Amino acid sequence: MTEEILNNASFKAEASGLLSDRQSHKAEASGLPSDRQSQKAEIEALLFVSERPLLLEQIKPVFENLDVSQIRKLILELKSDFEFSGRGLRIEEIAGGFQLVTALETAPLLKKFYKLRDIQRLSGPALETLAIIAYKQPLTRLDIESLRGVNVDGVIKSLSEKNLIRISGRKDVPGRPFVYGTTRQFLEYFGLSSLEDMPKLEEFAKPAGGACLPARQGLPSDKPEGNGAASDSRSHKQSHKA
């Protein structure tokens, strides 16, 4: 009788162990995080929301059951996870703490993104100057100022830094001043295949960012004069004389 009881107890213990293993296997198969994975996920969240490098001593109060050395080990594991998974983020040790940063190889993409974001913040004067250059190119800074009636040095610099305009040559007059024209990035931003696709100013061209190119008195209402559009310019002048 005693042997039978012991056998039953042994069977129950073995069955309980098998059931526990199966449950553990199911949890692992379903992607449920272990305690360690959960802790790493929580540390990742802390690093994400922090604007400055986090010191281990700042993280410690959040994890009551972990000491500083254990937290550091978790961060280093998480750091390796980021590096070997090919993700766009990295964990770097900075100024005695740890910070979540973008991967070095993503720098060109981020630079392009921030340039496009800055373009969407063009001021009214910048958009107006850009419209003048787009429809009248090539033209000098003095040409632009005569149309706008204000100094445009700052605006020209800003548009050049955003790669929306460029120096396209020099004007054949005394002093040979630079002339400005639009760039390929200008076409990309406004969704144009070429300058010939530019609408008339009366149509108020609207770029992807939602900003409008404002019309201004004194600007031609036809296609741009630069890049092979001289015939359009001549026809405009003839109709104006008529």
Q: Measured between alpha carbons, how far is 39 from 227 in angstroms, rounded to an integer?
A: 61
Q: How far apart are CA 212 and CA 202, in angstroms?
A: 11
pLDDT band at 1, cuts 50/70/90? low
pTM passes above 0.95: no
Long-range pairs for 189-193: beta carbons < 8 A, 24 or more residues apart: 189/116, 189/119, 189/164
Please determine, for residue 63, whether its predicted confidence score (pLDDT) is greater than 80: yes
- Cα dihedral 14, 15, 20, 25 sign: positive
Confidence of residue 15 (pLDDT cuts 50, 70, 90): very low
pLDDT, tens digit (0-9, with 9 covering 90-100), for 160-169: 988 899 999 9
The two domains 28-102 and 112-232 share their CATH topology (first three levels equal): yes
CATH, domain range 28-102:
1.10.10.10
Ranges of each domain in the chain: 28-102, 112-232
Question: Taking 80 as the threshold, does the pLDDT of residue 133 lie above it?
Answer: yes
Report pLDDT for 42.
93
| Burial class (CB within 10 angstroms; exposed 0-12, middle 13-18, buried 19+) of 145 | middle
Query: Rounded to whole angstroms, how far apart are CA atoms 50 and 87?
Result: 19
* Mean of pLDDT values over 28-54: 79
> Do the Cβ atoms of 166 and 183 come closer than 8 Å?
yes
Q: Please name the helix (run of DSSP H) or strand (run of DSSP E) that holds residue 168, with its range, or none.
A: strand 165-170
**Cβ-count burial 211-223 (b if 16+ within 10 Å, e if not):** bebbbeeebbebb
Q: What is the DSSP string of 80-117?
A: HHHHHTT-SEEEEEETTEEEEEE-GGGHHHHHHHHHHH
Mean pLDDT of 33-37: 76
**70 versus 7: which is more confidently predicted?**
70
What is the structure's pLDDT at 120? 67
Question: Region 127-142: what's the mean pLDDT?
Answer: 94
pLDDT of residue 197: 84
Q: Three-state DSSP class for 214?
A: coil
Closest by alpha carbon to 144, among 163, 131, 158?
131
Could you give the CA distance from residue 107 to residue 141 in angstroms, rounded to a whole number?
33
Predicted confidence (pLDDT) per residue in 194-204, tens digit: 888 888 766 65
What is the model's pLDDT at position 118?
A: 66
Tell me: domain 112-232, CATH 1.10.10.10, correct?
A: yes
Separation of alpha carbons 103 and 92, rounded Å:
10
For 119-147, the DSSP string reads: HTT--HHHHHHHHHHHHH-SEEHHHHHHH
